[in-house]
Amino acid sequence: MGNLGSVSYALKRMGKASSIIHGPKAVEEYDGLIIPGVGSFGPAMERLETFRDGIIGFAQSGKPMLGICLGMQVLFEQGTERGTHEGLSLIGGKVEMLKGTPKLPHVGWNTIELEGKSRLMERIPNRSYAYFAHSYACEPDFKGSIIATTGYGNTFVSAVEQGNVLGVQFHPEKSGAIGELILKNFMELAKECK
């Protein structure tokens, strides 16, 4: 799925300890869980299959977990990239190809429109720029979980927060000071679980 190194490096740059889990290691020993990703929904779920029970158990523990880009998409029930694939079903809804866009993939800097209050987005100014690289977007069943949207042709969901399960469609590790603040907010949530 890629992107593990860049997220790990971003956390290290911030002085935060992290570990990359390569096998079906017990995830419950961690204070927070980040699922980064670049690639395609189906192959990502194949790679995550050995982690599925651990990830679901972690989400049920109440500790914070953050999906980034493809990592956010796999939190949903279903993805439709190159066929229909079952996701982790931690958030109700599906992942569909972006519609009405100038071109695909959507790559580059774009603004995020904040929707309501969110612990993940604390101190983030509305219409901040973040870095995107994707062709698919999440469509949550529960609209109250949407914490940010972005316009690219049509408007799509760019961040969700459903209890302790969080997701951003953009890459905070590549989004400068704003992305670093989002990661810091996530780490503060994880610290509260110690």
User: In this structure, how many other beta carbons lie within 10 angstroms of the beta carbon of residue 127?
Assistant: 9
Q: Is 173 annotated in the active site? A: yes
Catalytic residue among 29, 49, 69, 139: 69
Give the N- to C-terminal CA distance of the chain in Å, as an integer: 29
Burial 138-148 (b: 16+ CB within 10 A, else e): bbbeeeebbbb
Catalytic residue among 28, 115, 173, 180: 173
Q: Are 23 and 50 in contact (CB under 8 A)?
A: yes
Q: What CA–CA distance (Å, rounded) separates 16 from 36?
A: 16
Q: Is 69 annotated in the active site? A: yes
Catalytic residue among 22, 122, 171, 192: 171
Going by the DSSP 8-state scheme, the letter that residue 3 receives in this structure is -
Going by the DSSP 8-state scheme, the letter that residue 52 receives in this structure is H
Q: Is 134 annotated in the active site? A: no
Q: What CA–CA distance (Å, rounded) separates 156 from 115?
A: 12
Q: What CA–CA distance (Å, rounded) separates 110 from 152?
A: 8
Q: Give the pair of three-digit tokens for residue 143.
A: 């609209």
Task: Return the active site residues.
Answer: 69, 171, 173
